[in-house]
Every structure is written in C-alpha cells, then in structure tokens.
Amino acid sequence: MFKPSPSSLMRNFKLSLIQLGGTTPDKTKNLDRARKLILEASTKSDLVVLPECFNSPYGVKYFEKYAENIPTPGKPTGELSESIKMLSDVAKQAKVHIIGGSIPEREEGTGRIFNTLTVYDNEGNLIGKHRKLHLFDIDIPGKISFKESETLTAGSDITIVDSPFGKIGLGICYDVRFPEMAMIAARKGCIAMIYPGAFNTTTGPLHWELLQRARAVDNQFYVAMCSPARDETAEYHAWGHSTVVNPSGQVIATTDEQESIVYADIDVEQLQQIRSGIPLSSQRRYDVYADVSK
C-alpha cells in the first residue's frame, strides 16, 4: 500500500523538449545535432529533454548496433562511451540539467540490451538511469507491428531523480500507458513525470495527448513527452507533437511533427494550488485499494 511521502525541495523552472530531426545511420552526426540543439535550448531553460533512441534510427534491427555501456549513477567509472560522454560534457559546458532521451544500453557481463534513459546535473554528473519497463510489443493488423522484445530486455525498476527543481519521475514512451508508474511517482512526492518517447502515426493521433493528460490529471502533476521529429523517409514514422501538460490536465506547450524546441514554465506554486483546491491526496481510500496490485 502506498502512503504519500513528503516532497523534496521544489522550485519553478523552465523545461525544454528537443524534438530532434534529421536522425541518420551516422551516430556521430546524430550526436552533433543533439549537442547543437541542447546548447540552443540551454540559453532559455534549466532542464532539457531529448527523445527516445536519439542516437540512431528507431527500429528493432538497430538496437544492438548502436548500444553502449552506461555506468551506474554515483559509481566511479572509466572512459565514457560516445553518447554518454557527449551528454555529460554538454551538460557541464552549458550548465544545464539534461534528461538525455534514451539509447540502447549493453549491460556488461550479460550482453543484454535495454532501452535506457540517462539524467545529468549541470556539472555533467550522471544522476539517474531508467531502463524502459514496458517493452513496445504491439500488432495492429494493416497498420503497425513492432516487437522491442525481439532484441531488448525490460528494466525492473521505477526511477525517480531528486533534482534541484523537485523529484521527477521517469519513463520511456510505452511506459506512459501504465498508470501505476506515474501513480507511484506522485505518491513519492514527484512534481512531474517525464517520458522521452516515439509514438507513431497510428497510435499518436489516438493516444499521445490523451495519455499525458490522463497521467497529469490523475496525479495532479506536470507530464511531458519528447518525441523525435517525423522523417517520412525512415521506416518508423514518429508522431512528433512533443507536449507539456499541467497538473490540471491542460496542454501548456506543444508543436507539430517538424524539428523544433518546445519550452514550458513549470510552476510549483500552481501545482500546490491545484492540489489544495481539489485535495485528492488526503481523500484517497488506501483502506480499500489493496486489490490494485494483484
């Protein structure tokens, strides 16, 4: 059974979502483009987010090829791999916090591949890592069939980072469909749930915004999803529409399918007002919810 836990320190901040375009099979080019846009976004924001699988095209056949080792946050490490080094260096250079989208991670020792998100503070330290918990395995006949589990292993942890702005819950794309993750993050004092993602042109128009608004209004916190831009020449057509939703469930920033940067003000006083006006957290009936986890 979950009990609300007290929030850590929180403060207002500016969030930006980089809807990265022009992803190619050339990893170094993808990293250079991401780096350039992080530098641009950092002039107007405190926390910058990248999309899912930002160092490669998105597809089951690419995970193995683009995979890198990722250290455990807070543990001493040797030389960093290419994508992790770029993110750490640019966070330090631009003095900005980064939620570094995701990349395929190769686990040392087992060789298993995960779809993994990394988080950096503004000195370039790796402060968080989330392995996608729910793999994207769907089959909608005549529309889209995708099976991440052909090459990926699912993570097994809920991830919350304690940032200077407040606690932030993390998920990757398909994770947004599972309300339990966001609910746990909210009960543990998070002010936001952030999901790098890459919905597609079948499920995007149906559910992308709806799911974010649902997670936000249920939990009375901010929700953001950051997509790649759409590339009609790629095999996978990303939906785009990177979006930020406020704790009332309203869209406060969004875009279309082109490359762009979405900016939003995250206002923790507004979050507290919404929570005190409709005080869901003190009205929950934990005494009757035990069946939910069965």
Ligand X SMILES: NC(=O)CCC(=O)C(=O)O
CB 54 within 8 A of CB 34: yes
Q: CB-wise, 173 or 192, nearer to ligand X?
A: 173
Q: CB-wise, 36 or 143, nearer to ligand X?
A: 143
Smallest separation, CB 262 to ligand X (Å): 18
| Residues whose CB falls within 8 Å of the CB of residue 253, separated by 6 or more in sequence, listed in order | 17, 243, 244, 262, 263, 264
Q: CB-wise, 124 or 197, nearer to ligand X?
A: 197
| Residues 152/58/101/212 CA torsion (nearest 10 deg) | -90
Smallest separation, CB 173 to ligand X (Å): 3
The answer to whether 14 contacts ligand X (rule: CB under 6 A) is: no
Say whether 52 is catalytic.
yes
Interface residue with ligand X among 96, 99, 173, 217 (CB under 6 A) is 173
In 178-215, which positions are buried (b, 16+ CB within 10 angstroms) versus exposed (e)? eeebbbebbbbbbbbbbbbbbbbbebbeeebbebbbbb
What is the distance between the alpha carbons of residues 82 and 28, in angstroms, rounded to a whole number? Answer: 8
CB 51 within 8 A of CB 198: yes
Say whether 79 is catalytic.
no
- Binding positions for ligand X, 205-264, rule CB under 6 A: 207
| Residues whose CB falls within 8 Å of the CB of residue 229, separated by 6 or more in sequence, listed in order | 19, 20, 21, 22, 238, 240, 257, 258, 259, 260
Smallest separation, CB 174 to ligand X (Å): 3
What is the distance between the alpha carbons of residues 100 and 103, in angstroms, rounded to a whole number? Answer: 9
Interface residue with ligand X among 14, 35, 112, 177 (CB under 6 A) is 177
The answer to whether 195 contacts ligand X (rule: CB under 6 A) is: no
Beta strands in 27-143 (DSSP E): 47-49, 97-106, 113-120, 126-131, 137-140
Interface residue with ligand X among 13, 174, 195, 222 (CB under 6 A) is 174
Q: Say which residue the tokens 């080019």 belong to.
A: 29
Q: CB-wise, 203 or 219, nearer to ligand X?
A: 203
Smallest separation, CB 158 to ligand X (Å): 17
The answer to whether 201 contacts ligand X (rule: CB under 6 A) is: no
The answer to whether 199 contacts ligand X (rule: CB under 6 A) is: yes
- Of 53, 129, 173, 209, catalytic: 173
- Binding positions for ligand X, 108-137, rule CB under 6 A: 136
Q: CB-wise, 186 or 225, nearer to ligand X?
A: 225
Q: CB-wise, 226 or 264, nearer to ligand X?
A: 226
**Closest-CA residue to 25 (of 199, 200, 225, 235):** 235
Say whether 132 is catalytic.
yes
Smallest separation, CB 53 to ligand X (Å): 8
Q: Say which residue the tokens 């000195």 belong to.
A: 123
Provide the binding-site residues for ligand X, judged by CB under 6 A.
52, 136, 173-174, 177, 198-200, 203, 207
Task: Report the catalytic residues.
Answer: 52, 132, 173
